Structure 1
Amino acid sequence: MVAKRVSYKQIQLQQSRMDDCANRVNLFRDKYKLPIYTLRLPGSRLYVINDTGLIPVLQRQIRTLSISPIIVRIFSHFMGISEPALDIMGRDPIEDSGFVHQMTIGTTKGLAPGPNLDDLNAKAVNILNASLEHTPTRVKMFQWASHEIMMATTNAVYGPRNPFKDPAVRAAYYKLEGGLLTLVTGFLPSLVAREALKARRIITEAFVKYFAENSLEEASVYARNRYQYPSSLGVPVEDIAKMETGGSIGLISNTMPATFWTLYHIFSDPAVLEDCHEEVKKAVRERGGENYLDLAYVKSCCPLLVSTMQEAFRVHSIGMSVRAVVEDHLLGGEYLLKKGSTVLIPSTVQHNSSTAWGKNANDFYHKRFLKKPKTKHNPVAFRAFGGGSTLCPGRHFATTEILAFASIILLRFDIKPVKGPWDTKLYKETNAAFRIPNHDIDVELFLRDCRKWHIIFSEPGKPMEISTEDLPSTSKEA
């Protein structure tokens, strides 16, 4: 069976913005109720997955339905990698020995649960905690949370000579992030993405200087691995710098808005605030007039806070998992996917599915991810970190950082809007994978506890059950 086609005229995706695209795929799901359908675009064919049951089937086809050709395209269009370097990076893209697969392994080693991740998490959360000693009493909440996460993450990853300490690099980052989708398409970037190209140059030059000064000696294992493997294959330093420039988007672009939305939903709802505060304060020990927050306790014994964070991911993530069809494939023995086409799994389709999440799928429910029969859901439908072989390797780093920031804010401060009630309705879908607020919120921070705070890990990092792949095999649903 060929996936049923929805006409190009019906969708007019070439005129759609990112948010309009997300809305349309949801409308088509509800209107046609198809498990999978085809969108015909000029020169290409897209298959959109609606049926949650097809996702594990698709993800098992790691070579026939592969992310690697997409990543090579990103190397070329978004990162601007040179032709000689692309020759190296594009070799055997779907094979285990290929650059894409080996680079993924190197990245994962630096972010997988264990000593390397424990060290990275400890550095990041202590940077966050120290920074809060100097937090103003009034801030723009999205701007403030984003800056704190950006600096904690990049300082922990890149060390004392972190390029993002330069305000010019930080400003360029936001311009590059804003031009992501335009650059990825590869359509006349010198005309329609000039600001993004200029920003990419600024960050790339900062990383070239960073590498030239041997700054990696004081950096994380993650950062060293990302340099050493391409360098060993003869990739020029400037191209490694371009790759790291593009990689910075994956490192921080989603964690920043996810942190904002987690804080937003905690502090804008009195019931959520009370639940989370009562839970987190049990993770605090007082010694010698100073407070010690045990983050290991938060991760393992604060299910309401963890659930609130996951629900923020579910409600506000808008990314799409993408696969290239390398060979003709009969998906699930029923749906023919043609070579040269692209498969999309929109997270918005899965995240507001009443079949997967119940009748209140469109509501924010902070207890949704608690392990109780009444809150049972299909974990495969949680797509905030992708899934399968392309599951985000940084999910444990990012979620630990978000939980640490939310916990210490809960314990040290109360947050209230400067004017009027919390705005719960307006947002934009201009980030590649996360909604951002339509306008920033001016808030005031009121100090709860003026004692000195420390963040500790009472035991080595234990991975949280964030995505389907993190769950015990007996609890996974296909």
Structure 2
Amino acid sequence: MSSFVFNGLSQMNSSVHSKHLQSILPTSWTERISPSSVKMASYLLILAVLVTLIRLVRTKQHLSEQGKPREPPVIHTNLWQFWKNGTQILDALAAENMHKFPHGIFTVSVFGWKIYVVNSPEMTQVIQARSRFTGLGWISILVMANMGGHGKQATQRLFKGVERGDVGNALGFVHDYHKVELRAMSLGTSLDAMEVDFVAAWDPFIESLKASLQSGNAKLDVWEWFKMSITVSVSRGVWGPKSPYCNNPILWEQFWTFNRSYNLLRYKFPGIFARRGAEAREKVVDAFVDFDENGGFDNASQLAQDRAKVLEKTGLEKRDVARMAMSQSVGQFDNSATVSFALLSFILRDPELLARIRKELEEHVTKNEDGRKVVDTLRIGKDCPLLLSTFHEVLRWIAVGVTVRRIEKDYPLTIKSDNTEYFLRKGNFIWGSGVAIHTCPSFYKDADKFDPDRFMGVKYPETQMPDIFRAFGGGGNICLGRHFARTIVPGAVGTLLMAFDFEPFNGKPLCVPNRKDLMLGHATPNPFGNTMATVKIRDG
């Protein structure tokens, strides 16, 4: 509508000039009308035509919608709020209006663009269900292509077969990709092998840190250390011993340079807006091309092998297949490193909690052949309920937990409780706010308090409490890496707590990642603040 109206204005400004207006009026009139009056008359005529056009468009739209249910109640916001706050404005509105709209859904209108915001557990479960009206596949491919820097032809190949966006029901790449990930990341032998490979890379980092501290304590940038150790160790779990991140000492830095620049790299001239990020991405892509050409997938996880086979079926060039490593890496590295740092930070801030967790961990300490104490990293996440509960509380505290869907066709949404009907328009998006649910006192007692015992006895809150624990999403599109994360993050932090003592550096404790610092396209916020600590080897 707007392009039609503004084009019309442009044409009318050139044709309805004051002298033209005078030429079509009677002579007796033009003799009495001043030039300024003629100019005003031309503006009024333009305004009248503009109003008429708008009414015609609105009338046509109204007629097309006759007989259809209304959209959910509307809240208006503006572009400045979106520019300033990003999508966090949607979570803020969802939290502010938690009890205002009885059905848990409302419309946010920004300059005619509409987003349907959901803030109730019941409605969230409705929208996350597989449906012929909504989907995720279109969004998934767009995000993957943007992160990887795929060209137009490669992106079209990835979109091929996406008749609906739902990854569970769509045809082609999206469906196959989701299917192999679900099989490889479910509890079983494939996931077990990935966890063993993770530990094979993680243990040397612990030993290396110990060796650097033999002479006493030292200052450590904990966040930088996590970025390095988690990136390399997770990559070993996914791509095996020949992982480019394991065999190129600086490649992990290239990933994090790209990660910081991701939002700018989405624009058409990344070399101008984010030159270093664009260069870093190409270095990682180069490394994965070499990995593929030198038989790296032969020793990779089942997940990596099956992903590669699905990508090959799309007909992508080898370099475009390598680009997919970027989108795969963001979820694997960014979230794992961030949550590990946050978990350690929360524990160190509470001496009583630290003592309780260390007592729990003692049960998993054994002595090796040399008489040295060894922690069973893989058992920590499975058999340390307090540490696991703290892990889940950290996710409640910092994870965005959003459920996003695109309306694939006009959606007549019926509320079963009272038969109310809403009309959701094709092409708009649904934003299911996990933040609003996680911070609501109706669902969590003392929701504004960090409670490490909150999830005691609840090993899988995403399935045991699917309506109110949204950190891993839910339904058919639930996070497939949740079991891997539940093992490696508590395991990594547990080994650190048993091997080292951490003291505030210059009296400053480690910062806690703040949800408000979340970057668009990421599920958890990187830490901004003090990341330095004084570290020494624990006695005994």
* Contact in 2 for aligned 1:318/1:433 (Cα 8 Å): yes
Counterpart selection for 2:493 from 400, 406, 430? 406
1:406-434 residue CA offsets vs partner (Å, 9 max, x unmatched): 22112222211122152556746144221
Is 2:203 the partner of 1:129?
yes
Cα pair distance change 1:317/1:239, threshold 3 Å: same
- The answer for the alignment partner of 2:153 in structure 1 is 84
Take 2:283 and 2:109, find their aligned partners in 1: how far apart are those partners?
38
- Residue 199 of structure 1 aligns to a residue whose secondary structure is helix
Aligned counterpart, 1:67:
136
What corresponds to 1:29 in structure 2? Answer: 97
Question: What is the aligned partner in structure 2 of residue 475 from structure 1?
Answer: none
TM-score, L = length of structure 2: 0.76
2:298 aligned to which of 199, 203, 217: 217
Structure 1 unmatched ranges of 5 or more: 451-478
Contact 1:265 1:272 in 2 (8 A): no
Q: How does 1:214-363 map to 2 (within 5 A)?
A: 214-286=295-367, 288=369, 289-295=371-377, 297-333=379-415, 334-358=421-445, 360-363=446-449
Q: Secondary structure at the match of 1:410?
A: helix
Q: What is the CA-CA distance between 1:324 and the residue it aligns to?
A: 0.6
Shift of 1:152: 0.6
Quote the Cα distance in structure 2 between the aligned partners of 1:291 and 1:425. 30
Map of 1:153 onto structure 2 = 234
Q: Which amino acid aligns with 1:130?
A: P
Secondary structure (helix, strand or coil) at the match of 1:308 reads helix
Structure 2 letter corresponding to 1:97: L
Tell me if the contact between 1:164 and 1:170 (Cα under 8 Å) persists in the aligned partners.
Answer: yes
Q: Name the Cα RMSD after superposition.
A: 2.6
**SS in structure 1 opposite 2:530?**
coil
Q: What letter corresponds to residue 349 of structure 2 in structure 1?
A: S
Of residues 86, 103, 125, the one that matches 1:56 is 125
* CA gap 1:231/1:425 in 2 versus in 1, 3 angstroms: closer
Matches within 5 A, 1:425-440: 427=514, 429-431=517-519, 432-440=522-530
2:121 is the counterpart of 1:47 = no
Q: Is the 8 A contact 2:91 2:436 kept in 1?
A: no
1:203 maps to amino acid: V
1: distance between equivalents of 2:334 and 2:413? Answer: 33
SS class of match (2:71): coil
How far apart are residue 115 of structure 1 and its match? 0.8
- Structure 2: how far apart are the matches of 1:322 and 1:199? 29
Name the residue aligned to 1:6: 75
Q: Pick closer, same or farther for the CA change 1:346–1:336 going to 2, 3 Å.
A: same
Query: Is the Cα contact below 8 Å between 1:62 and 1:389 reproduced in 2?
Result: no
Which amino acid counterpart does residue 80 of structure 2 have in structure 1?
Q
1:223 deviates by: 1.4
8 Å contact kept, 1:327–1:340? yes
Indicate conservation of the 8 Å contact 2:144/2:324, yes or no: yes
2:38 equivalent in structure 1:
none
Q: Does structure 1 conserve the Cα–Cα contact (< 8 Å) formed by 2:379 and 2:491?
A: no
Mapped partners of 2:195, 2:288: distance in 1: 23
Partner SS, residue 78 of structure 1: helix
Cα distance, 1:371 vs structure 2:
3.0
| Deviation (angstroms), 1:106 | 1.6
1:356 corresponds to which letter in structure 2?
A: F
Q: CA shift at 1:27, angstroms?
A: 5.3
Q: Counterparts in 2 of 1:107-186, with a 5 A limit? A: 107-135=181-209, 136=212, 137-165=218-246, 166-184=248-266, 186=267
1:470 aligns to what? none
1:97 aligned partner: 171
What is the CA-CA distance between 1:257 and the residue it aligns to? Answer: 0.5
Is 1:366 matched with 2:452? yes
Count of residues in correspondence between the two structures? 444
Structure 1 pair 77/204, CA: closer, same or farther in 2 (3 Å)?
Answer: same
- In structure 2, distance between residues paired with 1:60 and 1:332: 14
State the alpha-carbon separation in 1 of the partners of residues 505 and 160 from structure 2: 55
Aligned mates of 1:5, 1:157 — CA distance in 2: 45
Structure 2: 5+ residue stretches without partners: 1-69, 213-217, 416-420
Which segments of structure 1 move beyond 4 Å, counting only runs of 4 or more? 30-34, 186-191, 423-426
Q: Structure 1 43/162 Cα, relative in aligned 2: closer, same or farther at 3 Å?
A: farther
Q: Give the match for residue 381 of structure 1.
A: 468
- AA at the equivalent of 2:523: A
CA contact (8 A) 1:29 1:349 kept: no
The alignment-based identity, stated in percent, is: 24
Larger radius of gyration: 2
